[in-house]
Copies of this chain bind each other. A is one copy, B any other.
Amino acid sequence: MKNCRQDEHHSNAKKLIPKLSSTSIELTSAIEVLDEKKRKKSIFIPAERPLTIYLNKKELVTLMTLGSRPEDLVLGYLRNQRIIKKLDDIVSIQVDWDVNSAAVISNTYEAQQTSKRTVTTGCGQGTIFGDIQADLDKLVLSQRSQLTQSTLTEIIDVMRRHDSVYKKAGSVHGCALFKGAEMLMFVEDVGRHNAVDSIAGKMWLESLEGEGLVFYTTGRLTSEMVIKGAQMNIPFLLSRSGVTQMGVQMAKKVNLSLFGRCSGKHFYLYSSWQRFVYD
């Protein structure tokens, strides 16, 4: 069930990269249910567990998570909440599922501005929106990147065929990062913001810039999803679901190309049409 080790590759790398544990844990479990004909059935449901982040031994936050990529999630959370500004400010992240905790050591962080809170499964992790609204006013994404219709269709198909917790157990949100039609990352979580944050964390770790990349999510494109995408400098956001009015407004403001209702060959393009090439 538990498989915890130091990642030697990272600690030996030239660039200063935090020491990360690499934990794994069961993502689904079988339970018995009754159906409409009073039949007992065994079905799979996704895990949901608290992960409490301790930053320099001070309790920071508890995230409700599937637990698939806890180290990336912690990294992405610290980044997106602007608690840690530079990756090499983090010495190590050690996740321990025996006590549902992630111990983060930072040389530079001084605990003063944060207080204990819990972020529930449905949660956008609350505080980010207000803080970055001001920054967003300055942000405009580059128009250089283009996306062709054939690549878009291929991405939708890759997502459809990809093996996932969702296929086995449902009730999770998935996010993926693409370069062309190549899937670079794929993360699922019970909280959709956790999935996005995990990808942000992994991008940070791999010094990966968002320029030219495509972000796919199964969840809706609401204002804060657009903000997170824009923060990561990703010009293309795709969703199987729809959008909200403020999501579209924000996308237009920062020049982000928003695609919703992506299914098979179908989609709607809501903003920044000039980046898209029909073929």
The chain A residues found within 8 Å of chain B, CB to CB, are: 29, 31, 33-36, 38, 41, 43, 45-49, 62, 64, 115-131, 149, 169-171, 190-193, 219-220, 222-225, 241-248, 265-270, 273, 276, 278
Contacts and interface: CB of A to CB of B under 8 A. Distances in A.
Contacts of A119: 124, 126
Contacts of A48: 222-223, 244-247
A121 B227 CA distance: 12
A33 B268 contact: yes
Given A242-B45, A245-B45, A122 B190 contact: no
B64 A246 contact: yes
B122 A219 contact: yes
B36 A190 contact: no
A118 B126 contact: yes
Give the secondary structure class of A's interface: mixed
Contact of A270 (B33, B220, B242, B243): B33
Contacts of A123: 122-126, 193
Nearest to A247: B48
Contact of A265 (B36, B149, B276): B36
Contacts of A220: 121-122, 171, 190
A170 to B, nearest CB: 4
- Could you say how many copies of this chain the assembly holds? 2
State the 4 A-B residue pairs at the shortest beta-carbon distance, nearest first: A120-B124, A123-B124, A48-B244, A171-B242
23 contacts: A34-B269, A35-B269, A36-B265, A41-B268, A48-B222, A64-B224, A117-B126, A118-B126, A118-B127, A118-B130, A119-B126, A120-B222, A121-B220, A121-B222, A121-B244, A122-B122, A122-B124, A122-B191, A122-B220, A123-B124, A123-B125, A126-B126, A171-B242
Contact of A129 (B47, B62, B129, B276): B62
A132 B243 CA distance: 33
A225 B131 CA distance: 27
A122 B225 contact: yes
Given A47-B244, A121-B220, 19 more contacts: A33-B268, A33-B269, A36-B149, A36-B265, A48-B247, A49-B246, A62-B130, A64-B124, A64-B224, A115-B115, A117-B127, A119-B126, A120-B224, A121-B223, A169-B242, A170-B242, A171-B241, A171-B243, A190-B220
A268 B34 contact: yes
Given A62-B130, A270-B31, A244 B171 contact: yes
B124 A43 contact: no
Nearest to A29: B245
Contacts of A35: 266-269
